[in-house]
């Protein structure tokens, strides 16, 4: 049974040594595991697993989160319940890991839709005819510039990172490079893309809005 602690008790126990700290860590891990299990079960779009596997994921994420919380519990400002604050950290950590796992399971060929660099939102039927026409025109220009004015690696890096949101560490691994080199590749690609778009009368702000 988890002991009901006040904010001050949580901080004191986690900052102490011996049995009180061990008990607080055990209770916090158990509490977070339960919360993460229910949260991940509701986020089936990310997890796509069930039963024992989901329970194990929640347990692993809870243990990882407790390690993070132990390092930064002195940053707790007391504006909410300690467990609420801890749960936010755990959920953030779990979602980040789930996204990394999802992207690692997706090849770059699948990511770029067999070479067709086209955002999936273009098939969205909820747009008005006016916004659809403007959006398609801007996207068409952006894609033309990306296809014809950027190198293959610049195009892949920009599309994967800026359009699809692939985490930088995962993208570096998939492109067989390091993060510093990838940052430079993206920087150079964005610079060239911006220059070519301005030559065609499209501002970076307009281009960015088309991808939202």
Give the best-scoring range by mean pLDDT among 100-109, 142-151, 201-210: 142-151
Which of 200, 199, 197 is closest to 211 using CA atoms? Answer: 197
Structural domains of the chain, ranges and CATH numbers in brackets = 7-104 (no CATH), 110-210 (1.10.10.10)
Q: Is the pLDDT of residue 134 over 80?
A: no
Q: Which helix (H) or strand (E) holds 173?
A: helix 168-174
38 pLDDT band (50/70/90 cuts)? confident
Q: How many residues does the chain have?
A: 212
197 pLDDT band (50/70/90 cuts)? confident
C-alpha span between 88 and 181 (Å, rounded): 33
HSE toward the beta carbon, residue 156, CA cutoff 13 A? 18
Q: Which long-range contacts (CB under 8 A, 24 or more apart) does 161-167 make?
A: 161/186, 162/186, 162/190, 162/211, 163/117, 163/119, 163/211, 164/111, 166/103, 166/111, 167/96, 167/99, 167/100, 167/103
**What pLDDT shows up at residue 122?**
46
What's the pTM? Answer: 0.51
Q: Decide if 159 contacts 173 (C-beta within 8 A).
A: no
Average of per-residue pLDDT across 76-95: 90
C-alpha span between 36 and 9 (Å, rounded): 23
C-alpha span between 40 and 58 (Å, rounded): 8
Which of 71, 66, 61, 78 is closest to 25 using CA atoms? Answer: 66
Q: Decide if 144 contacts 159 (C-beta within 8 A).
A: no
Mean pLDDT of the chain, nearest integer: 78
């Amino acid at each position: 049974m988890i002991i009901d602690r006040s904010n001050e008790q949580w901080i004191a126990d986690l900052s102490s040594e011996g049995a009180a700290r061990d008990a607080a860590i055990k209770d916090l891990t158990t509490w977070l595991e339960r919360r993460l299990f229910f949260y991940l079960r509701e986020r089936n779009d990310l997890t796509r697993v069930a039963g024992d596997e989901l329970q194990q994921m929640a347990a692993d994420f809870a243990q990882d989160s407790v390690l993070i919380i132990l390092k930064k519990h002195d940053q707790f400002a007391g504006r909410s319940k300690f467990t609420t604050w801890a749960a936010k950290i755990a959920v953030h950590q779990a979602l980040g890991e789930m996204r990394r796992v999802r992207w690692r399971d997706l090849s770059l060929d699948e990511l770029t839709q067999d070479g067709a660099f086209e955002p999936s939102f273009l098939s969205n039927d909820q747009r008005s005819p006016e916004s659809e026409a403007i959006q398609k025109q801007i996207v068409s220009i952006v894609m033309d510039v990306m296809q014809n004015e950027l190198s293959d690696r610049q195009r892949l890096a920009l599309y994967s990172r800026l359009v699809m949101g692939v985490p930088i560490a995962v993208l570096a691994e998939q492109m067989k490079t390091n993060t510093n080199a990838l940052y430079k590749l993206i920087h150079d690609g964005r610079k060239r893309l911006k220059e070519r778009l301005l030559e065609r009368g499209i501002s970076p702000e307009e281009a960015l809005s088309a991808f939202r």
